[in-house]
Structure 1
Amino acid sequence: MKKVLHIVGARPNFMKVAPIHRAISERGALSQKLVHTGQHYDVKMSDVFFTDLGMPAPDIHLGVGSGSHAEQTARVMLELEKVFASEKPALVSVVGDVNSTLAAALVAVKMGIPISHVEAGLRSFDNSMPEEVNRILTDRIAELLLTPSADADANLIREGLEANRIRMVGNVMIDSLLGAREKALKLPVLPELGLHPHAYAVCTLHRASNVDDPKVLGGLLSALGHVASRMPVVFPVHPRTRKRIAESGLGASLERTPGLRLVDPMGYLEFLALTSQARLVFTDSGGLQEETTVLGIPCLTVRENTERPITVDLGTNLVVGTEPARIQQAADRILDGYEKKGRVPPLWDGHTGERIAREYEQLLGVGESPRLAVM
């Protein structure tokens, strides 16, 4: 049987790979292995997600850990070259836009192995974002470009990529969300935090542009403090963000802010239980923009741009930048009842993993109607 290698490295990857892995397993036409690069190595940031998503333990764990972008990418490339040489995959499947995504794609293309990029075509049009560079380069060299929405298709065509490489399959992360929501809602997360449904806000911050500059970080936290004066704000703090808060001397004032609750990172199910019952979400995460759109929860994206404009055009997301006054004004409007109503984009229906599995079979010549057999 022809073999697919799935490459994961950070927590956003796991929610995207789980439905694909499950669909391939159920269809039984391909063999597969899961390679965890170890880009995220904290248990709460990585290992617990495998349990929550019902995924098997990784077949191969590289354990590369943290480092600069160059160091991390280089370590992943060095280790993956050995893995690809040993495993001899027919296809390397990468997801998202983290360093492990680009590293795997570069190694595969140099070794003549076809690449599938899940979540292809997303663009923020901001090359100062490392993720944007990873996205663009991965798309250039991937054999199969699997997009979540029509705007992503348009981006790829505009960049001159061939239409026969592009397939709009929907948003695979939504498969995980819809499959896990019922189980998540049974967890006692809200009672344990003393919260009531739709009477609190949730915040996540981790991007370098937001947390590495003390002035920007301080402004965002002051805006959170304003919202916390109206309702509780739960802030699961990413390890990077916690470190920056401590370095900037903002920790003491945060601890004294009434209504603002700093907690450790949560597992997937715990966090889904929290976000799915929130009144409002603040984030700089791409995935949460998508999840809140499907959940129908107002989302304020504290960035100057988004690579997921469909969540703004169709969904519940608003891009509000990082200016505290603008964030506070947008939050106040929502809390006063002037929230944006959205709808779920096409093909965000919980069946994207199955569509991707069929694409892989066709690409590799084992499906009912092969699109392109790759030797």
Structure 2
Amino acid sequence: MVNKSKIAIIIGTRAELIKTFPVMQELKKQKIPYYFIHTGQHNLQNLCEKFNVKKPDAVLTLEPEKTTKLWSKINQKSIGFALLNVFLIRKELKKLKNLKYVLYHGDTMTTSAAAIGSSKLLNPFKKYKNVHLEAGLRSEKYFEPFPEEISRIIAGKFSDILFAVSKRSKNNLKKYVGKKNIIQLGNTVVDSIHLSFEMAKKNKTKRLNKEKFALVVVHRHENLKNKTRLSKIVEIISSLELPTYFAMHDSTEKQLKTFGLYDKLISNKRIKIIPNMEYTSFIYQIKNCSLILCDGGSLQEESLVFNVPCILFRKATERQEALETNFQFLSGLKVKESKKKIQEYLNPKFKPLPIKNPYGEVGLTKKVVEVLKK
């Protein structure tokens, strides 16, 4: 039976689904069918149920539980696996005879595979448009973060329609990809955060602590594989003088133990190791915490939405707009400067200056769907 969907959405990771589910919900609301392709990079079953989006129409790789560990490592096997998905995506898209748009999100290995697999390079007679959601972010450094910066470059090169997240991102695209259909939209994560926070309130989610507390997430490849960088991060975290909750990834715990740093963390009575939370609960904690310490780009965006001070454990960031506020600090892994900034942020007299979110306001998802309806 021929599938008549005019839109294909390709997703591999939880972060991609989190930022794309508002689009999927809006398509469903407007009764617009779409074909959901899952590469298998992460297990998405629980999130699909949580956000009330349909199960994937196609899963391209091994069972997600088995492939997640493979994809989480940057090595020859994971890169080979991504290349395999290029051709699996191409094969899957050929089943869709009425296709008008192929949408993919962000900067993961799945993003690269989707951009290449659906491109004119491999499909010279294609009639559909390639659409990149969350386009134009650039750190200007190939390995900070890696492989995300390279994935963004690939997606920019092979996409026909690029939804830029900000004015800066739009300018980046004009500079690097030239004359393409660039639409300055904003970031759909704004809608994701709003919807998730409302879900958390409805579920009567409780704060981690009734008093002021800090929230820590560290998972970036360039930090976990470098003992010096990870040691500095632990030193900065250990200096905190308020209850601190470290949402621990398996890979982070493993590397902390490998480098002999885990015991230093757990010996600190102010630091509590907690498992990763599901997204709606996590958003609720971000809204209610006093300080975020992280190395992820999405947390930068969430910090902006809620005006929560953020210490970024990186040397470069693609979300440079966020640094124009007075409550986000790119630490460069400098211990002394980071400790000083923490004291500034936790001073009762400190107030985040109100800003207009450079990534847009609630409701921008509808603009994406309007383009996909054309």
In the superposition, the TM-score normalised over structure 2's length comes to 0.88
Q: 2:356 aligns with which of 326, 334, 344?
A: 344
* Mapped partners of 1:237, 1:133: distance in 2: 26
| 1:59 counterpart letter in structure 2 | D
Q: 1:85 aligns with which of 76, 86, 94?
A: 94
Task: Answer yes or no: is the 8 Å Cα contact 2:307–2:352 preserved in 1.
Answer: no
Q: How does 1:174-213 map to 2 (within 5 A)?
A: 174-187=190-203, 190=206, 193=208, 195-196=209-210, 199-213=212-226
SS in 1 for 2:289: coil
1:55 aligns with 2:65: no
Q: How does 1:283-298 map to 2 (within 5 A)?
A: 283-298=294-309
* Mapped partners of 1:315, 1:56: distance in 2: 40
Task: Answer yes or no: is the 8 Å Cα contact 1:48–1:267 preserved in 2.
Answer: no
Task: Answer yes or no: is the 8 Å Cα contact 2:303–2:310 preserved in 1.
Answer: yes
| 1:201 counterpart letter in structure 2 | A
Task: Answer yes or no: is the 8 Å Cα contact 1:181–1:273 preserved in 2.
Answer: yes
Which residue does the alignment assign to 2:312?
301
1:103 aligns with 2:113: yes
Task: Give how far 1:61 is off.
Answer: 2.1
* Mapped partners of 1:8, 1:160: distance in 2: 23
| 1:225 counterpart letter in structure 2 | S
Which residue does the alignment assign to 1:135?
152
Q: How many residues align?
A: 351
Task: Answer yes or no: is the 8 Å Cα contact 1:80–1:107 preserved in 2.
Answer: yes
| 1:293 counterpart letter in structure 2 | L
Task: Give how far 1:346 is off.
Answer: 5.1
1:273 aligns with 2:287: no
Which residue does the alignment assign to 2:34?
32
Which residue does the alignment assign to 1:222?
235
Task: Give how far 1:315 is off.
Answer: 7.1
* Mapped partners of 2:171, 2:325: distance in 1: 16
* Mapped partners of 2:278, 2:45: distance in 1: 9
Structure 1 residues 118 and 346, CA, compared in 2 at 3 Å: closer, same or farther?
A: same
Task: Answer yes or no: is the 8 Å Cα contact 2:321–2:358 preserved in 1.
Answer: no
* Mapped partners of 2:108, 2:131: distance in 1: 15
- 1:91-117: CA deviation from partner (whole Å, max 9, x where unpaired): 210100000001011010022342100
Structure 1 residues 274 and 187, CA, compared in 2 at 3 Å: closer, same or farther?
A: farther
Task: Give how far 1:339 is off.
Answer: 4.8
Query: RCO higher in 1 or 2 (8 Å CA, sep ≥ 6)?
Result: 1
Structure 1 residues 188 and 231, CA, compared in 2 at 3 Å: closer, same or farther?
A: farther
* Mapped partners of 1:73, 1:320: distance in 2: 32
Which residue does the alignment assign to 1:240?
251
* Mapped partners of 1:295, 1:341: distance in 2: 12
| 1:6 counterpart letter in structure 2 | I
* Mapped partners of 1:117, 1:268: distance in 2: 23
Task: Give how far 1:324 is off.
Answer: 2.0
SS in 2 for 1:349: coil
| 2:10 counterpart letter in structure 1 | I
Task: Give how far 1:189 is off.
Answer: 5.1
Aligned-residue sequence identity (percent) comes to: 23
Q: 2:335 aligns with which of 300, 315, 324?
A: 324
